[in-house]
């Protein structure tokens, strides 16, 4: 009996999860972005940057799984300029155990990021990757899905509830018609939706501890990934200014105008 207990504990120990959470440094959600004068991109000079809010939710979920004794380690990974370190420190202040910075000054597009994460996954062998469902700068909503494809892992996107048990995850997804609950086998990629959790405020002692947590720096070349952009941005423009409203005489007039002027019905 005693021997069985030990074996059982060994099994548990082996089975505890490592979770990888990719975090992106983006324009802070409070900032009103401006388009550069030449229309090439949005202006990022002297603009407040912070962690993509959906990635913060992803980190929070991973840390909660660790606090619940389900996960053994949470690794945050970020790709981009050297100051993505700050974003990784934020992730570590919330509770990630260590960080990996893939440093690059190339404009990293979703496929490139997915390939970089694939390389990191092959090295780190996590059982779960939790991404934010999308980044609030380009709203691409692609990286998690592409990573799952590249790894040939199952994916559960737009998660609003995650239950991990053994080698399975039960994930409630936010879909157009309501909620959908699916079971997937691990390893897998999850992407976090807004209602998955409410991220905590980092505590001062944890902010200070985050400074001492290990942060490894690598780059696309070392990981053997070609990150050359494949998409070309033709033009970035501000949305058209809202024009003044008009008063309609009655419902029929409204329907007529929606058909003939607005052309939406």
Partner 1 sequence: MSEYIAPIRDMQFVLKELAGLDQVVQLPGCEEATPDLVDAVLEEAAKFAEEVLSPLNIPGDLEGAKWHNKAVTMPAGFKEAYQLFAESGWTALACEPEWGGQGLPKLVAAAVSEMWKSANHSFSLCPLLTNGAIEALVLTGSDKLKKDYLEKMVSGVWTGTMNLTEPNAGSDLAAVRTRAEPQADGSYKILGQKIFITYGDHDMAENIVHLVLARTPNAPEGVKGISLFVVPKFMVNDDGSLGERNDAYCVSIEHKLGIHASPTAIMAFGDHGGAVGYLVGEENRGLEYMFIMMNAARFGVGLEGVAACERSYQRARDYARERIQCTDIGVRGGPKVAIIAHPDVRRMLMTMRAHAEATRALAYVVAAAHDAAIHHPDAAERKRNQAFVDLMIGVVKGWSTESGVSMASMGIQVHGGMGYIEETGAAQHLRDAQISTIYEGTTAIQANDVIGRKIAREGGATLQALIATMRTFDAELAGQAGDHFLAIRKRLTDGVAALAEAGDWVVATYRDDVRAASAGSVPFLTLLGIVAGGWQMARAALIAQSRIDDGDADPFYAAKVVTARFYADHILSRARGLASSITDGAIGVMALPEDMF
Q: Which is nearer to partner 1, 163 or 208 (CB)?
A: 208
Q: Which is nearer to partner 1, 53 or 154 (CB)?
A: 53
Q: Which residues of 12-46 are buried (b: 16+ CB within 10 A; e: fewer)?
A: eeeeebbbbbbbbbbbeeeeeeeeeeeeeeeeeee
Burial of 160 (0-12, 13-18, 19+ CB in 10 A): middle
CB neighbour list of residue 9: distance below 8 Å, 6 or more residues apart = none
Find the shortest distance in angstroms from Cβ 147 to partner 1: 28
For the beta carbon of residue 183, count every other beta carbon within 10 angstroms: 12
Q: Which is nearer to partner 1, 150 or 202 (CB)?
A: 202
Q: Which is nearer to partner 1, 34 or 123 (CB)?
A: 34
- Quote the longest CA-to-CA distance of the chain: 84
Lookup: tokens for 149: 């494809």
CB neighbour list of residue 143: distance below 8 Å, 6 or more residues apart = 22, 110, 113, 114, 117, 131, 135
Q: Which is nearer to partner 1, 93 or 184 (CB)?
A: 93
Residue ranges in contact with partner 1 by CB under 8 A: 30, 45-46, 48, 50, 85-86, 89-90, 93, 201-208, 210-211
Residue 2, sorted as left (phi over 0), alpha (psi -120 to 50) or beta, turns out to be alpha
Find the shortest distance in angstroms from Cβ 123 to partner 1: 27
Find the shortest distance in angstroms from Cβ 202 to partner 1: 5
Find the shortest distance in angstroms from Cβ 33 to partner 1: 16
Find the shortest distance in angstroms from Cβ 205 to partner 1: 5
Q: Which is nearer to partner 1, 141 or 206 (CB)?
A: 206
Interatomic CA distance for residues 150 and 132, integer angstroms:
18
């Amino acid at each position: 009996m005693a021997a069985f207990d030990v074996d059982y504990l060994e099994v548990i120990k082996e089975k505890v999860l490592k979770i990888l959470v990719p975090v992106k440094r983006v324009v802070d959600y409070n900032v009103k972005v401006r388009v550069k004068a030449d229309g090439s991109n949005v202006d990022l000079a002297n603009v407040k940057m912070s962690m993509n809010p959906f990635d913060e939710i992803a980190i929070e979920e991973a840390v909660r799984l660790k606090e619940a004794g389900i996960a053994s380690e949470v690794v945050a990974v970020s790709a981009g300029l050297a100051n993505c370190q700050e974003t990784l420190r934020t992730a570590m202040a919330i509770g990630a155990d260590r960080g990996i910075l893939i440093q690059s000054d190339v404009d990293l597009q979703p496929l490139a990021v997915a390939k970089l994460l694939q390389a990191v996954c092959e090295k780190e062998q996590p059982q779960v990757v939790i991404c934010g469902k999308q980044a609030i700068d380009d709203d691409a909503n692609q990286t998690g899905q592409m990573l799952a494809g590249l790894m040939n892992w199952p994916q559960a996107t737009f998660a609003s509830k995650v239950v991990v048990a053994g080698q399975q995850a039960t994930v409630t997804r936010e879909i157009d018609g309501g909620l959908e609950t699916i079971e997937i086998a691990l390893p897998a990629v999850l992407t976090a939706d807004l209602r998955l959790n409410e991220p905590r405020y980092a505590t001062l002692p944890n902010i200070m501890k985050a400074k001492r947590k290990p942060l490894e720096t690598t780059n696309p070349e070392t990981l053997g990934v070609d990150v050359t952009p494949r998409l070309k941005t033709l033009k970035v423009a501000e949305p058209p200014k809202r024009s003044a409203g008009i008063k309609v005489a009655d419902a029929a007039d409204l329907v007529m105008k929606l058909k003939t002027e607005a052309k939406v019905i």
